[in-house]
Structure 1
């Protein structure tokens, strides 16, 4: 089950959008709540609901875009309209909208059953409904409503991390950080944080016991050295800065780096290279996480960074400017990808969609970018000089999720749904393939 908050608006265009769906036989009004005397009247028009919501919004002039619009989507037809309505009511309560006027409309025109909810961000006292960390709270709250335990997932991640061999506390922390967790030392424990909330904690004594038992596997150490030498002769070792996409098609430095070699080793061999650098400076070292053998190594124990970067005999560091920069033209050829390549990038894109608070953070963590156009987006792997149409990598519910997040989180500042916009435009459809990636000028 996926909950997504769509664009804010000052005009409550989502009311027209959903009522037009009903007029077209593609939607069904499931619930009208907290509209006061309006609910006792017959033959209400969209303008009546909009007028009521607008009147509430007028109580607080500081809220420029008072529309609250969200979707709750099931996988396929796993939940019918009644079940989705009940889930939406419970989710709205968790989000702070239990007493707000809201509409719930079921849509039946996509492969995935889903409902839209429309409400207002100002209450009857003129106070603003809490919207801090709104997108991460939407994920937590749908998980809560569905009985999914985030703490259980954190416990499993901690247990897995403790099964690795490592020689420093920092190395242990990197294992969990590579899975999207944030760790914070507090007294005698490490707090494990995700979505801005503490999920669990680890006794530092447990980590200390693991450190005492550490014995390097010299045989595996030699294997890793041989692997790096072998594949550095095939894949470029040049380090390239990772950026995060910003609204308007701009990119900002993250302070992190990748390379063609590191991308290949992570994807194909379970060997993850994490480079360490000061702000605006060249990387000075790296850590190697050997997921296959469950061991963390200091990079210098395998091959010193300077030696590793010199293996291909090329200039190895592209200086990262700390300021936001304009995007450059993408010259990667669109790939005629085979099943293995498609499966690989499909898995990375799905991870970016579902394992992070938003798509932008997921792409950043995976070292990927989105290019092409809004109508024909491309997944771009800069180090590998690869670009593949998103439509080849995602389908069904995953493609719906991408379209929603792409429009709202990554490049477009907000979604303002006009009266002639339908679900195909919101959720996306299979588009024709581009022959060449183009500069993203949005």
Structure 2
């Protein structure tokens, strides 16, 4: 679920925009609140609501753009109109608008259910409602409404990760990364980042102490090996490269149904040389070779197809690619930073000086400063790619609605269409210039 605050405006055109949705049966008026005696009248017109909002706004001449217009969007049909209404009411209250006159209009004409909120930034006491760190607070308060206690959840997840049997620090980090966190080493500590900010930190000696207590679970190794043999009979172990990482039908089944992550390790476009088993069910991380060698795993089924198809495809990709491994790693890192280290993904792209263009089901990351364009499927794992696509889809839906209101908004975030040469053409080397955002 995302929340987006639309640009402020002098007039309250958002009222007409939303009531037009109702007239066309593309929206539904869910709640009208705090409009005083106006709510006792019958057959109210859009201008009646606008005039009331203008009257309240006129008590503070210093606020030149009083319209407050925001939307909360759910993933698909995950939340009903009534659930979104309840969430919007609570969110407005936490943002300081609970006692303001406001309209809530549910929109049902896009693939993601969402609700719009229209009110004024001027309180009935004539004071402007604070907009300090508004976008950051918007995300934080939505998490509060949804029952997502960021810091509490981070502490809980860290405590959970520390119960896993891990043999290396990298394995410990894999556990937290699988729970959606970004990790950063600094000053002898491991910063744990989510929702655009540091939620907690772990003293590295605590991790080192945990590593000393590592005891391989021999029985679980035997169980896993048996599971591998059992389910390889029904699910294809042939490796394919998807969203920049290797996986298989067999690996997808283990992850979804049994809580066992197979993380394949590869260098550049070469086939995997090894793998790690993150066993969430057994709270243990194993080197893949402790269960069975990669060669043995792949030989459980269709080994000839792996040699004939996967290896050839990997070498073809290497020949066709205009981007080196170091450059891919660099852009993968800053794309993930934009996705997870900012309250808003599009804000993160803008801060990094990047653009994102969609062509069909493909997404291309652009760096206009260097002329580099890269397929995001080569940069992100499946989970991260899906999260990016969801954020982009919901943002573009909101952006299209803004554009339909005939409000001019600069577009620094989304790149125009780019031709095939720009995407697949010659590689232009990045000039060695420092970015302003150091991590």
Give the TM-score normalised by the residue count of structure 1: 0.54
Q: Could you tell me which runs of 5 or more consecutive residues in structure 2 were left unpaired when the two chains were aligned.
A: 37-44, 122-130, 324-341, 347-359, 362-389, 406-439
Closer/same/farther in 2, CA of residues 148 and 78 from structure 1, 3 Å limit: farther
After superposition, give the CA deviation of every residue in 1:71-105 in whole Å (9 maximum; x if it has no partner).
Answer: 38897698897x76753433444xxx99xxx8621
Aligned to 1:89: 92
Aligned to 1:303: 292
Which structure is higher in helix share? 2
Aligned to 1:197: 197
Output the CA distance in 2 between the equivalents of 1:9 and 1:227.
Answer: 57
TM-aligned CA deviation for residue 192 of structure 1 = 1.0
Aligned to 1:125: none
Q: Is the 8 A contact 2:237 2:248 kept in 1?
A: yes
Q: Is the 8 A contact 1:192 1:202 kept in 2?
A: yes
Output the CA distance in 1 between the equivalents of 2:106 and 2:394.
Answer: 23
After superposition, give the CA deviation of every residue in 1:204-257 in whole Å (9 maximum; x if it has no partner).
Answer: 1221122111121222212222322332233112222333xxxxxxxxxxx322
What pairs with 1:9-408 in structure 2 (closer than 5 Å)?
A: 14-20=14-20, 26-31=29-34, 44-45=47-48, 68-71=69-72, 87-93=90-96, 104-107=102-105, 116-118=116-118, 134=135, 138-144=138-144, 148-243=148-243, 255-311=244-300, 312-313=302-303, 314=305, 315-317=309-311, 318-319=313-314, 407-408=393-394
Structure whose alpha-carbon radius of gyration is higher:
2
Secondary structure, counterpart of 1:164 in structure 2: coil
Output the CA distance in 2 between the equivalents of 1:151 and 1:223.
Answer: 36
Q: Could you tell me which runs of 5 or more consecutive residues in structure 1 were left unpaired when the two chains were aligned.
A: 34-41, 61-65, 122-128, 244-254, 325-355, 361-370, 373-403, 420-442
Give the TM-score normalised by the residue count of structure 2: 0.54
Q: Is the 8 A contact 2:72 2:116 kept in 1?
A: yes
Secondary structure, counterpart of 1:288 in structure 2: strand
Task: Name the count of aligned residue pairs.
Answer: 308
Cα RMSD after superposing both structures: 5.2
Q: Is the 8 A contact 2:35 2:52 kept in 1?
A: no
Instruction: Choose between structure 1 and 2 for higher RCO, CA contacts under 8 A separated by at least 6 residues.
Output: 1
Q: Is the 8 A contact 2:22 2:29 kept in 1?
A: yes
Q: Is the 8 A contact 1:164 1:296 kept in 2?
A: yes
Closer/same/farther in 2, CA of residues 8 and 323 from structure 1, 3 Å limit: farther
Output the CA distance in 2 between the equivalents of 1:323 and 1:180.
Answer: 30
Closer/same/farther in 2, CA of residues 118 and 80 from structure 1, 3 Å limit: closer
Output the CA distance in 2 between the equivalents of 1:167 and 1:104.
Answer: 56
